[in-house]
């Protein structure tokens, strides 16, 4: 009976409990820390074009968080909190409130895919991760042009960054699944999706 229940895991359309909000707060904080650590590290060491390497780490952790919470809306909350926290730094483009709009757009797409495929959550995150990363480099380029920032070097890399970001997002989602299954089989996240 216990193994049967684990095999029937799905993303649910339900209200968040107090425990869910606590887990979301902890996971959002960890997502911010990871985003800052890797995002600023790659941007500082290699320049803004290489911040896309952070896509693997962030989307791995985002997909893991979504699976742990197991409810529609978790992605939106985590990405919104992250976007608000990175407004003043050069993660997801130049500093500014435009990142909140990007987070809303990304989370809306991610949540719609999760909703459509909620009975098959692993397929949902594998499909959603690369699709939601795809527009980020183009968004950053557009914002840079809008703000009158230099874009020549970035413009030549934007298509490559989008493709690399999609692949890294896919790999991040793919990597999150066995980690989640291992955590679930050991009972570490048991009951969080109920």
C-beta separation of 12 from 118 below 8 A: yes
Please give the pLDDT value at position 48.
58
Name residues whose C-beta falls within 8 Å of residue 67's C-beta, 6 or more positions apart in sequence: 121, 125, 176, 177, 180, 193
CATH code: domain 2-185 is: 1.10.1760
Residue ranges per structural domain of the chain: 2-185
Other C-beta atoms lying within 10 Å of the C-beta of residue 184: 19
Q: H or E stretch including 82?
A: helix 74-85
Of residues 162, 143, 65, 163, the one with CA closest to residue 100: 143
pLDDT in tens, 55-68: 888 899 999 999 99
Mean of pLDDT values over 14-27: 91
Check pLDDT > 50 for residue 31. Answer: yes
Check pLDDT > 90 for residue 113. Answer: yes
| pTM passes above 0.95 | no
- Report the chain's mean pLDDT, rounded to a whole number: 85
């Amino acid at each position: 009976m216990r193994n049967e229940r684990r095999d029937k895991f799905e993303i649910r359309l339900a209200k968040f409990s107090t425990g869910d909000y606590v887990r979301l707060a902890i996971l959002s904080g960890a997502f911010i820390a990871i985003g800052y650590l890797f995002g600023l590290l790659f941007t500082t060491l290699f320049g803004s074009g290489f911040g896309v390497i952070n896509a693997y780490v962030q989307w791995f952790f985002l997909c893991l968080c979504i699976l742990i919470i197991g409810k529609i809306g978790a992605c939106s909350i985590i990405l919104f909190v992250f976007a608000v926290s990175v407004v003043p730094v050069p993660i997801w483009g130049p500093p500014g409130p435009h990142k909140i709009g990007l987070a809303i757009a990304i989370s809306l797409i991610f949540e719609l895919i999760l909703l459509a495929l909620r009975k098959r959550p692993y397929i949902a995150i594998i499909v959603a991760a690369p699709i939601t990363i795809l527009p980020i480099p183009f968004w950053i380029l557009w914002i840079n042009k809008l703000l009158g920032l230099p874009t020549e070097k970035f413009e030549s890399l934007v298509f490559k960054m989008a493709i690399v970001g999609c692949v890294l997002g896919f790999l991040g989602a793919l990597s999150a699944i066995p980690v989640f299954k291992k955590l679930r089989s050991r009972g570490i996240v048991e009951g969080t999706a109920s």
